[in-house]
Homo-oligomer: A and B are copies of this chain.
Amino acid sequence: MKAIIQQDTTDPTSLAWTDTDDPTPRPGEALVRIHAAGVNRGDVLQAAGHYPPPPGTSDIIGLEAAGTIEAFGPPVESSHESGSTSAGEKSGTQPVKQWSVGDQCGMLLAGGGYAERVAVPVTQLFPVPRGWSLTDTAGVIEVAATVWSNLGMVADMQKDQTVLIHGGSGGIGTFAIQLAHAMGLTVATTAGNADNLELCRSLGADILINYRDDDFVVVMKEHGGADIILDIMGAKYLDSNVKALGEKGHLVIIGMQGGVKGELNIGRLLSKRGSITATNVRGRSLDDKAAVVADTIKHVWPLLEDGTISAQVTKTLPIADAAEAHRLLKSREVTGKIVLTVE
């Protein structure tokens, strides 16, 4: 098959569409022919050497894709005499879909999406939402799993809570605003200019904060503090985020665009009985990922199918132009999601 192979590990732009070996599906995995692959910030970091794939997974870039199942790996040897159970069944959240050769699907990947084929655990397959194209599906998997796993599963968001979403006009932000609004939360969000804030408002944000003009701590205190903060800035916002939390508030950090190490005022956190979780999807165990996938399908897919949350793909490029896609993402010339198409 062909895949995007980085020719020079010191040059993140040296991404060439190159012949390489086909992947071999292991027990419990499907072999999927890829039609479209989403482009993520993690891909750009990986090309720059900053986000290595977890041990035992593909070196090829690409965290999400959509395609058609071509084959399955050998049967899973069951450790139970009474037959097999899947992680999806164990999680108790979703009946296990029976997948067949020829089915179309979306995929949550630890790597390998920038290719003609990928081997992926069947517990990480998503149905294509009714009415959605494979291109749009490839662009929604990672953000849906990330946002649901954090707002839904880690922070256990509830109707009438207040959530602060940083970077509301970004890929994570636009999805999180729509999801939290649909779940009945009061949504506060930060962005850097009026156009981006207007986008956030149109997606359902209630409290709009221009971080260049306003202090989000002051604004959130006026609204009683945040029950949940979804943060992508890390160290730079740590102290302010703790200040902006309300009673029993939960700061969920999923990005560190503002640095890795910051001062934590434990006394302030304790006075609110607050929590901080830092997490991502990629490094989780297979069981954890299976639980995230099943829960995301259960809670988010109906909102994709009924139009509550819309597709955000604004740019498609042939996969051979992966380097150009990375340049566009870094330059911020494109707002919305970029997807690479195969064939």
Q: A residues within 8 Å of B by Cβ?
A: 234-235, 238, 247-248, 253-254, 256, 260-267, 269-271, 273-280, 283-285, 288
Starting from the known contacts A269-B276, A270-B279, A276-B277, 17 additional A-B residue pairs (CB-CB under 8 Å) come to A234-B267, A238-B266, A247-B285, A253-B270, A254-B270, A260-B265, A261-B263, A261-B266, A261-B267, A262-B266, A263-B263, A264-B276, A270-B280, A273-B277, A273-B280, A274-B278, A275-B276
CA distance A248 to B254 in the complex (A): 14
> A283, B278: Cβ atoms under 8 Å?
no
Given contacts A274-B278, A280-B273, contact A253 B266 (CB under 8 A): yes
Instruction: Using CB atoms, name the residue of chain B closest to A254.
Output: B270
CA distance A262 to B279 in the complex (A): 20
Residues on B with beta carbons closer than 8 Å to the beta carbon of A266: 234-235, 238, 253, 256, 260-262, 278
> A273, B267: Cβ atoms under 8 Å?
no
> A278, B284: Cβ atoms under 8 Å?
no
Instruction: Using CB atoms, name the residue of chain B closest to A280.
Output: B270
> A264, B283: Cβ atoms under 8 Å?
no
6 tightest A-B CB contacts, nearest first: A270-B278, A260-B267, A269-B278, A264-B264, A273-B279, A275-B277
Residues on B with beta carbons closer than 8 Å to the beta carbon of A263: 261-264
CA distance A285 to B247 in the complex (A): 9
- Main SS class of interface, A: mixed
Residues on B with beta carbons closer than 8 Å to the beta carbon of A260: 265-267
CA distance A273 to B254 in the complex (A): 10
CA distance A267 to B128 in the complex (A): 34
CA distance A193 to B288 in the complex (A): 40
CA distance A78 to B238 in the complex (A): 42
Given contacts A247-B285, A263-B264, A264-B238, contact A256 B277 (CB under 8 A): no
Instruction: Using CB atoms, name the residue of chain B closest to A253.
Output: B266
- CB of A32 to closest CB in B, whole Å: 27
CA distance A88 to B206 in the complex (A): 35
Q: Which one of B235, B253, B262, B267 lies within 8 Å of A256 (CB-CB)?
A: B267
Instruction: Using CB atoms, name the residue of chain B closest to A277.
Output: B275
Instruction: Using CB atoms, name the residue of chain B closest to A269.
Output: B278
CA distance A188 to B254 in the complex (A): 30
CA distance A271 to B50 in the complex (A): 13
- CB of A49 to closest CB in B, whole Å: 15
What are 22 A-to-B residue pairs whose CB atoms are below 8 Å? Answer: A235-B266, A238-B264, A238-B266, A253-B266, A253-B269, A254-B270, A256-B267, A260-B266, A261-B263, A261-B264, A261-B266, A262-B263, A263-B264, A266-B278, A267-B278, A269-B276, A270-B278, A273-B280, A275-B275, A275-B276, A275-B277, A276-B276
Instruction: Using CB atoms, name the residue of chain B closest to A276.
Output: B276
